[in-house]
Structure 1
């Protein structure tokens, strides 16, 4: 990869990552506001499930990106994968927030729910990735 291609790749990953991160934040904010309206309060119990939604969506889109663009390609497909697969899907998904959600659930004396959430996050993420691969293939 030439220096110019590395610079372009860095820019594409940054743009995609920023867009994915913004969508993740938006999903959580809108979800919390909808929960607050429906439950007449800000329900912190919704936060982990909104993170799970963002992670599942990111895995699904990553499956489509891998099927359509490949993950180890060159040329325009490589640049597209850098933008969508690495940047956007990487920004949309968030292991650190999911890990913090597990800690918060444990702190609220919800050990069984935190274990279930952790296992669901992994299982649903992998299933969503597979479904994206199958649909796009």
Structure 2
């Protein structure tokens, strides 16, 4: 496989993954706003501070990556191209450590340091579990 074809696969997958991450955040933001307008907002518990869109995107990316690793592995040919598109491009752009890190900083700035720490532990732990589950599903 040529370097140019691999790069193109990563670019296309990355564009799709980043768009999916944005879509998750946009959907959840609009849904929350609609619930508040309808008067169905949940009572304040601190959970509204949790950056759920980033968390969901990261966990979905881990699960999908686990499945892809088992299904496509390190084989050559079209499977390698599919892995570049989906594993490297899509999952790489869907998941985002930088946004999760910024979310933690924002939680700390709001005075929710314990929640920020819990978010880090929950994200890493759940991400690892999702990757493992993907490996099991994919085998």
**1:90 corresponding residue in structure 2:** 92
User: Please, what TM-score do these two structures have when normalized by structure 1?
Assistant: 0.90
Alignment of 1:45 with 2:48, yes or no, is: yes
Structure 2: segments with no counterpart, 5+ residues: none
**Which structure has the highest helix share of the two?**
1
**2:112 corresponding residue in structure 1:** 110
- 7-16 vs 46-55, which deviates more? 46-55
Query: In 2, are the aligned partners of 1:32 and 1:46 still within 8 Å (CA)?
Result: no
Q: 1:26 to 1:74 in 2, by over 3 A?
A: same
User: Please, what TM-score do these two structures have when normalized by structure 2?
Assistant: 0.89
Structure 1: segments with no counterpart, 5+ residues: none
RMSD, aligned CA:
1.9
* Residues matched between the structures, number: 132
Q: After TM superposition, which residue ranges in structure 1, 4 or more long, deviate above 3 angstroms? A: 43-47
Query: In 1, are the aligned partners of 2:10 and 2:88 still within 8 Å (CA)?
Result: yes
Quote how far apart the aligned CAs of 1:102 are: 0.2
